[in-house]
Structure 1
Amino acid sequence: MDWLREHPEVKTIRIAAADLNGVARGKRVPARFAEKVLTEGTKFPYSVLNLDIWGEDIEDSPLVFESGDPDGVLLPTERGFLPMPWLDAPTALLPLWMFHPDGRPYDGDPRQALAQVVARYDAAGLVPVVATELEFYLIDDSGRTLRVPPSPRSGKRRTGGEVLSLRALDAFDQFFTSLYDACESMDILADTAISEAGPGQFEINLMHQADPLKAADDTWLFKMLVKGVARQYGFAASFMAKPYNMWPGNGMHMHFSVLTKAGKNIFDNGGDAGTDQLRHAVGGCLRAMPGSTLLFAPHENSYDRLVPNAHAPTGIGWAYENRTAAIRIPSSGPKARRIEHRVAGGDVNPYLTVAAILGAALNGIEEKLEPTPAFQGNAYDQKLDQLPGTWQEAIEAFASCPDIKSIFPAHLIENYLMTKRQELHYMAELSDEETVELYLDTV
């Protein structure tokens, strides 16, 4: 309550948790009732964390009619109250996660799934250090055709992509200034911003931190924040995997290293190659990659991004300092030796993505898995095993993957499969325009 006492201007709060698609589900509460939420939590039906992308119940889910649609208990995460700078009225957000009434974590909560993976690392005496890089488009969606919004500075629209262009960044300087101020107020560790290859496409890196839960929280909150600030300026921000057919899609690359409790990077052998444990972590990630694709590409539109020669990986392979690879070992000082996982789109649930990657890496370390040899050159020209090429193929790979079963609770796997099969069925009824309208803001 100290934060609210320091901010008496805040009259309402939002309490919210992430569902399986990463969509924030929650309530609006008058600030004077906040102490009750802090001490007692609140209740949502378990089914609320298992809605489809339209926000509809999953048909025939045992969480709904079969069980009477019972409530779980949502308690505040360690994050506490955060300002919501994109709203006109002073408002605070209180992030939540779900438990059973007897205090057990609810296995269908994606944040709880990540907490279980982190607990495995802790039991092994290890600490994952995680950072994410998020690409997004700024889009004028006021007409029938998506296009680049006019610059708040000049009023002009830029029609092409400009990689690492200061001019492109400066055209939206007011937006980025507001965004970074908001990140500071929300304790989101936003670092470098660059312009990307698509018109109105940008990337912002979030800082490395030795707390995967906070890294995933920051990523989830950052997506919410970017969308909200963009609307303040009269345009949309979208993390949709492929909003434009002719331009590159949006990715969410994840960098990670693993430390001992004493702070030693277990991937660092003092040279460029890295340790056996680095290779084993890569081996685990590669083995789990087909089954994990549904988490890295969770929507129909996701597969428009995962095509050859489109700045997104399609082959299951790894390489040193090679951005065509699904897994890249970046050049760095030995102490910063790390793995970059490049498969996920911007449309993912960050809790599930971070859990899948860290869980697969730990499986590889524990089993001492040897990866296929690192390749050189263009990944698209290599004879590599391929990621699932369609949403349907990814659903079936997820359902049968032993690594997925070792990383995630069976209850979450069942719920996620029911969700994606329902979405696959109903997405077939939508036109291309309706598909874009659905995904533009929701993911």
Structure 2
Amino acid sequence: MDAFDSEVRNFLQKWPEIEFVDLVFTDINACPRGKRIPIKALAKVKKGVPLPVSTISLNMAGSVVEEAGLGEELGEPDHLCFPIPNTLTRTVNPNVAQLLLTMMDASGEKPTSLFIRNVLEDLQKQLHSKGQYPVVALELEFYLVDKSRMDNGLVKPAFNPKKRMQEKDTAVYDIENLDDYAEFLSDLNTAAAEQELNTSGALSESAPGQFEINFNHQKDVLNACDQVLLAKRLIRQVAHQHNFDVTFMAKPFAHEAGNGQHIHLSVVDEAGNNLFSDQNGAASPFFYQTLAAMIHAVPSSIALLCPNVNSYRRFSAGSYTPTKADWGHNHRGVALRIPMSDSNNRRIEHRIAGADVNPYILASVVLANVLAAEKFTPEQCPDPLSETAPSMPTRMSDALAELERGEFGDYLPKEFLHIYHACKQSELAEFESAVTPLEVEWMLHTA
């Protein structure tokens, strides 16, 4: 019996009531796509599930972006998708399980470099071959919101189930706010435990109805990203059970804090020694080389970390979001924060991405920076909180231009970058062609 057969058998012994399985495949935006099959058909999945390769290049609305070149031009060919080990879990529906898939080429023998999870796996292998083992922990922010919308179509704050009123007051780390949503959080934590998600609890964040879920650090970067995908799906499902909607938009409210997806990074050797610290416990040369590589890469990586027009609305001074390519110790306003820690736990918190980022792309950018560290000297790392730190691109068009002429082609497959750029350029063009209520209000009688 192979590993997948064993995983299925053990799962069904534990959850015999399961009748269906959602086969979940993610597009370039990490939106879950797929199909639901009877549990009796699950054993056949190990032979490969044919799915159009064009499903990688879906836009946020779920339509194929023909400019990416994977659709009609090729005749919508299928590639084979296979189960990701140890991702067969329950959902909140007691009769339905879920399983993540990864895409290979048409023969089913070679991972396609068009699928970002495969790219991340290759980056991790490259670092392991150098004796460097990334350790990551992710933080994911989200808003519970009302299922109805404002008259103008914008998002309405959540209706507080205990106070019986619409949320409106900001209270950072508000324990009472957690009590107000105790039933939702309890069901979320229970379901997360049943799915064996590597989470360490939720806390109230910087705005009404906003929460953050933290993941424990781990050396398996691929699994860490898988966990984020499963957690986002779980949060949505539990929220709907409690008559909430939920959003991971980077900036759902104009005058409230945005949603971030931060990633903490350290790098250890095979024995588990932190390579960001030297033998005396001080920051190592490799630590400063990695910081230098990350800062150098900020302009060309912003488009990958901020995939939507809304992503850029999150950046503003005074809101604990970065506006410059800088770093600092124990400072939440920088792009790269060095949290308080001892020498064994020295790490870098990458704070640029919003909650709308594809976690595999976020991790790929970070690991590519670690690979690039050897090209930099410690002396090339700027001073913390440098006054001369360059400003980050804060418009999607500028970020895409930086990506097109940037250096990530040295570490990420050029064919993947081409597809990503084509998809995002298409979305930007569609957004910019839309007439908004604000411009009508401003110009209807004054232009």
Hey, what's the Cα distance between the residues in 1 that align with 2:101 and 2:403? Answer: 27
The counterpart of 2:418, out of the listed 414, 422, 425, is: 414
Q: Where does residue 91 of structure 2 map in the other structure? A: 84
Secondary structure of 2:68's aligned partner: coil
**1:347 match:** 356
Q: Under a length normalisation based on structure 1, what TM-score does the superposition of the two structures give? A: 0.92
Q: 2:428 aligns with which of 403, 409, 424?
A: 424
The residue identity in structure 1 corresponding to 2:86 is: R
The match for 1:299 among 281, 285, 308 is 308
Q: Secondary structure, in 3 states, of the residue corresponding to 1:92? A: strand
For residue 56 of structure 1, what is the aligned residue in structure 2? Answer: 63
Which of 13, 17, 21 matches 2:21? 13
Aligned match for 1:177, one of 168, 186, 194: 186
Runs of 5+ in structure 2 lacking a partner?
1-7, 439-447
The answer to whether the Cα contact below 8 Å between 2:29 and 2:358 also exists between their aligned partners in 1 is yes
Question: 1:137 pairs with 140, 143, 147, which one?
Answer: 143
Q: Residue 44 of structure 2 aligns with which residue? A: 36
Distance (whole Å) between structure 1 residues aligned to residue 374 and residue 240 of structure 2:
44
Quick check: 1:320–1:328 contact (8 Å CA) kept in 2? yes
Counterpart of 1:116 (choices 115, 122, 134) is: 122
**Shift of residue 366, structure 1, vs aligned partner:** 5.3
Residue-pair matches, total: 426
Which residue in 2 is equivalent to 1:385? 390
Alignment-derived partner of residue 438 in structure 1: none
What per-residue deviation string (whole Å, max 9, x for no partner) do you get for residues 417-441 of structure 1? 110011001112446689xxxxxxx
Structure 1 unaligned runs (5+)?
435-443
Q: Secondary structure at 1:313's aligned position in 2?
A: coil
CA offsets 1:284-338 (integer angstroms, 9 cap, x no match): 1111111110121110001100122222101011111111110011111110001
Determine which of 100, 105, 114 is the counterpart of 1:95. Answer: 100
Query: Does the aligned pair in 2 maintain the 1:149–1:235 contact within 8 Å?
Result: yes
Task: Note if 1:257 corresponds to 2:261.
Answer: no
Taking the aligned partners of 1:433 and 1:171, their CA distance within structure 2 comes to 35
Q: Find 2:341's aligned residue among 308, 332, 343.
A: 332
Does the CA contact (< 8 Å) of 1:161 and 1:201 recur in 2? no
Residue in 1 that maps onto 2:243:
234
**Could you tell me how far apart the structure 2 residues matched to 1:353 and 1:20 are?**
12
Paired with 2:346 and 2:248, the residues of 1 have a C-alpha distance of: 28
1:45 is matched with which residue: 44, 49, 52?
52
Evaluate the alpha carbon distance shift between residue 433 and residue 305 of structure 1 in structure 2; reply closer, same or farther with a 3 A threshold: farther
> How far 1:273 sits from its partner (Å)?
4.9
Residues 14 and 431 of structure 1: is their aligned pair in 2 closer, same or farther, counting only changes over 3 Å?
A: farther
Question: Displacement, 1:115?
Answer: 0.5
- For the pair shown, which has the larger CA radius of gyration, 1 or 2? 2
Residues 220-242 of structure 1, C-alpha deviations (whole Å, 9 max, x = no match):
21111111211111111111000
Q: Normalising by the residue count of structure 2, what TM-score does the alignment of the two structures yield?
A: 0.91
Question: Would you say the 8 A contact 1:188–1:222 is kept in 2?
Answer: yes
C-alpha distance in 1 between matches for 2:280 and 2:323: 29
Match of 2:206, SS state, is coil
Following the alignment from structure 2 to structure 1, what is the Cα–Cα distance between the partners of residues 197 and 171? 26
- SS of the aligned residue for 1:52 comes to coil
Q: CA deviation at 1:4?
A: 2.5
Q: Give the conservation status (yes or no) of the 8 Å contact 2:329–2:339.
A: yes
Identity rate of aligned residues, in percent? 31
Paired residues of 1:25 and 1:49 also in contact (CA < 8 A): no
Q: Does structure 1 retain, via aligned residues, the 8 Å contact 2:300–2:402?
A: yes
Contact 2:57–2:68 at 8 Å: present in 1 too? no
1:440 maps to which residue? none
Pairwise CA distance, 1:159: 1.4
Aligned mates of 2:127, 2:377 — CA distance in 1:
15
Deviation at 1:342, TM superposition (A): 0.5
